[in-house]
Structure 1
Amino acid sequence: MLALALLCLPATKALAQDAGTINGQGVLDAVVAAQGKVVVIDFFASWCKPCLMEIPEFIEARKHYPADKVVFIGISLDQDQGQYFRFVKQTPFNFPVYLADPDVISTFGVKMIPKTIIYDPAGQQALNHSGFMPGEMLRQILDKLIGGEK
């Protein structure tokens, strides 16, 4: 039984990383579903160098903040699905990552990546940041939004 459970772990990890595709309404629905929590949405692509520098900072932040306080969602704007799947498989994401449907770009006004949108616990947009976000900046914003609780 234990051996069978251990065999299932890699598949579970993969499912936790690649959450499938998502459209703009799906992202908005995820924000509503997380009411009472801070929601961090990271828009990125596997070929984007600043994104590659930023993703480890988001992975570290996910480890630092409890899931009942902060929700992290990664949204890849990769157009090559194979490249996306290879990237997600080799990156140790600890939050769900979705492949964006084309309408996500217009729904969220993504003109450049990386882009980070953070919603407060009431579901109101607290930050809309284009460009690289250093980990320290992310932690300061999250600490302020959750009232210093961790």
Structure 2
Amino acid sequence: MRTARLRTVHPALWAGWAALAAGAVLCVLGWYGVSGERYAERQLPYLASCTIPGAALIVAAAILLTHGRSALAAARVEELYGLLVAAEPVDAEESAQTAAAPIAISGDLLMVPGGTLWHRADCPLVAGKPEAVPVDAKLVANGELSPCPICEPAEADD
């Protein structure tokens, strides 16, 4: 899969690398021409014909490479989104039951010292952790702890 992506590299990337190479060559030629001349009036043609266009090509290359990389990233996101949308559950009844069933159903509430969430005792985030302690009601009342978005312990109070 990775090789298929490399074959379809965005054209802006190729143009960017070509402009960068041409700009570097022009800057080197301009520097070489300027370094061989003693007087400023003889150095100006090299600056005008090589160094300035070379620097402009390097700037254009930077813009093309940035655009090419962002287009490549957008294509990868679209590909991942397509894979995500295309993935369908094998059994519709089983997936409906799984989606309807809560992840954790225990009534005991736990927290991890120093944490910011409170959980049900069978929440996958705290299950089996020896450092998990019962929830301090003062922390919940003060708003220092918020309910876990995975096990949704707020439903336990209902």
The TM-score bracket by the shorter chain reads under 0.3
Structure having the higher helix fraction is: 2
The structure having more radius of gyration, on CA atoms, is 2
- Which structure would you say has the larger RCO, counting Cα contacts within 8 Å and 6 or more residues apart? 1
TM-score (norm. length: structure 1): 0.19
